[in-house]
Amino acid sequence: MRIGVLGILAFWTIGASPLCSLAERVTLSYAENFSIEKRDTHTLITVRNPWRGSGRMQFRYALAPRGRDVPSNLEGARLIRVPVTRLSLMETVYLSHLNALDAYGSLVGLAHPELASDLETRRRVESGEVKTIPAKGNLDVESLILLQSEAIFTSAMGNPQFDVHPQLERANQPVVVTAEYMEAHPLGRSEWLKFTAAFLGKEKEADALFKTIEDRYLELRSLARNPENRPTVLANAPFGGVWHVPGGRSFTAEAIADAGGRYVFSDDESNGGVPKDFESVYFRAAEADIWLHPGTARTMDELLEMDPRFARFAASRKGGVYNNTRLWGPGGRNAIWERGILHPEETLADLIAILHPELLPNHVFVYYERLQ
């Protein structure tokens, strides 16, 4: 924590010298939805593209070291004192950041703790060190106020019925809207570690860790860059007759391409889910080699009970159906949505082992399992 403060102070002194330009931008290699700029008195963080169709909407945060004067020019940003010592989380995905930065001490509140797969967090929720934020149905703003958070991380969907940030802003709470889930590249989502780290004053640790993640990811990707064949891949499963397939520019599509696979809907231009007819997916993907993430099914029997027509896919016949449910826990929690987001290199290794087992002969699956 002290290093973080010193780090910010160091930037502050550099920024104060008249020769230096007004702002110094921290280079982010993959994340597109946030930027970090070092100003004279504070660090300015801008979050863009917070939800689908949010247009030019931005959220800005001025991170100023504790105890200093309020920066004179906040440029409309919300002032947050760093390092944050009382952090509340509306989503469990950031728990992997706390784990990686060893910053459990700053966590005071967590919504939906039943979805947390992080063991230390679960222990802290049970012992009462971390309070549950009642957020089922309606958010209980009062109990959140009692937590006296210095920052509350939440993502938003642009839907007033589900978004909590307007409510929290009205209650004058230090809400921080993130856009991690909107990143298209797996490393982009991982790089949000630097975002959390800026609030916790742990930038150096975050930079070092992200570097090792990135290196490993790129190493794996180059391993699968020129495979002899590119197996075709389909993803997801229909619900109520509608098959939401990942778009051709989505996170999943990106991961499949990086693992040396050919995604059947790679010609699609969107980055979210695309609703398709069951039969049109069947038409395109009947002969696909690999089928990923078939809903909640963990065995072939479960899969075929959902719909016997699934047996018609070549992937089902050839035993090429894999789900990321190996670390699935009760209550629907799954480590792939926490640790797996921070560590795309582990997910990529799993995918490469699925698509090109010869490239990683002794691989032990972390998140994926083959449906038997």
Query: Strand, helix or coil at 264?
Result: coil
**By the 8 A CB rule, do 365 and 347 touch?**
no
Q: Alpha-carbon distance 290 to 292, whole Å?
A: 6
Site for another protein contains 276 (CB under 8 A): yes
- Identity of the residue, 194 or 276, whose beta carbon is nearer to another protein in the bound complex: 276
Residues 61-120 that bind another protein (CB under 8 A): 112, 114
315 to 234, 287, 293, 321, 367: CA distances (angstroms): 9, 7, 12, 6, 19
Site for another protein contains 2 (CB under 8 A): no
Q: Alpha-carbon distance 194 to 358, whole Å?
A: 34
Site for another protein contains 269 (CB under 8 A): no
Q: Are strands 58-65 and 78-82 parallel, antiparallel or unpaired?
A: parallel
Q: Which residues contact 21 (CB under 8 A, 6 or more apart)?
A: none
Q: How far is the CB of 284 from another protein (least distance, A)?
A: 9
Q: Alpha-carbon distance 29 to 321, whole Å?
A: 33
Q: How far is the CB of 132 from another protein (least distance, A)?
A: 15
- Identity of the residue, 267 or 358, whose beta carbon is nearer to another protein in the bound complex: 267
Q: Which of 102, 126, 169, 287 binds another protein (CB under 8 A)?
A: 287
Site for another protein contains 53 (CB under 8 A): no
Q: Which of 136, 160, 267, 364 binds another protein (CB under 8 A)?
A: 136
Per CB under 8 A, the segment of 53-61, 300-308, 341-349, 352-360 that binds another protein is: 300-308
Per CB under 8 A, the segment of 34-42, 46-54, 89-97, 130-138 that binds another protein is: 130-138
Site for another protein contains 208 (CB under 8 A): no
- Count of residues in contact with another protein, rule CB under 8 A: 34
Residues 321-340 that bind another protein (CB under 8 A): 330-332
SS (H, E, C) 10-51: HHHHHHHCCCCCCCEEECCCCCCCEEEEECCCCEEEEEECCC
Q: How far is the CB of 307 from another protein (least distance, A)?
A: 6
Binding mask 141-160 for another protein (x = CB under 8 A): ----------------x---
Site for another protein contains 166 (CB under 8 A): no
**By the 8 A CB rule, do 13 and 42 touch?**
no
Q: Which of 6, 25, 242, 363 binds another protein (CB under 8 A)?
A: 242
Query: C-alpha angle with apex 340: 358 to 228, nearest 5 degrees?
Result: 25
Q: Are strands 290-292 and 321-323 parallel, antiparallel or unpaired?
A: parallel
Q: Are strands 43-48 and 58-65 parallel, antiparallel or unpaired?
A: antiparallel
List residues binding another protein (CB under 8 A). 112, 114, 136-138, 157, 162, 239-242, 274-280, 282-283, 286-287, 295-296, 302, 305-309, 312, 330-332
